[in-house]
Amino acid sequence: MAVVRIAVVPGSFDPVTLGHLDVIRRAARLFDRLHVLVTHNPGKQSLLPADRRVALIEQVLSEAGVQGVQVDSWSQGLLVDYCRRVGAEVLVKGLRSPTDAAYETPMALVNRDLAGVETLFLVADPATSHVSSSLVRQVAALGGDIAPYVPAAVARALQAGAADG
């Protein structure tokens, strides 16, 4: 019987950036099934509610022509619980810098300890390796142009939000 390789790209995606889109697109080519998981910490202040982040990712993937990716959110329990639920054996994350590597390595080891889930790191494209959601939130909050850092749908959504506020 053929093995179906299933992976999860997890993150806060608050908001999804061009760097995230690049990692998702590359991961989708490597696996039979890919899930993008918006993690939601109710105790943490976020720019966008989790359901809005999910909807934006779906829109961004559709506009980018990335097909067959399931987008979910998760606020209960461990990331590896979601992996078990969907049958994923691999987490995929982007690595932008040595700082990312230092932050991600212990989490990768814990996720492997907890459930045997491996983490695959994709080296960020140099075009987006300086981009983060926190930077985008800061630039947007102070009225700067976020268009170079996020997919068009996100720029539109945040600009509309700023106009509302």
Q: Which residues bind ligand PNS (CB under 6 A)?
A: 10-12, 39, 78-79, 107, 110-111
Question: How far is it, in rounded angstroms, from Cα 34 to Cα 4?
Answer: 11
Tell me how far, at minimum, the Cβ of 1 lies from ligand PNS, in Å: 30
Tell me how far, at minimum, the Cβ of 2 lies from ligand PNS, in Å: 29
35 belongs to the catalytic site: no
96 belongs to the catalytic site: yes
Tell me how far, at minimum, the Cβ of 17 lies from ligand PNS, in Å: 10
What are 71's two structure tokens? 């987008």
Sheet with 69-74, side-by-side order of all strands? 69-74, 33-39, 6-11, 90-95, 118-123
44 belongs to the catalytic site: yes
133 belongs to the catalytic site: yes
Q: Which of 12, 20, 40, 93 is flagged as catalytic?
A: 20
Nearest residue (CB) to ligand PNS, 11 versus 151: 11
Nearest residue (CB) to ligand PNS, 141 versus 160: 141
What are 52's two structure tokens? 């809005």
Nearest residue (CB) to ligand PNS, 39 versus 129: 39
Is 29 exposed, middle or buried (CB count within 10 Å of its CB: 0-12, 13-18, 19+)?
Answer: exposed
Question: How far is it, in rounded angstroms, from Cα 15 to Cα 133?
Answer: 6
Question: Which residues are catalytic, by number?
Answer: 20, 44, 96, 133
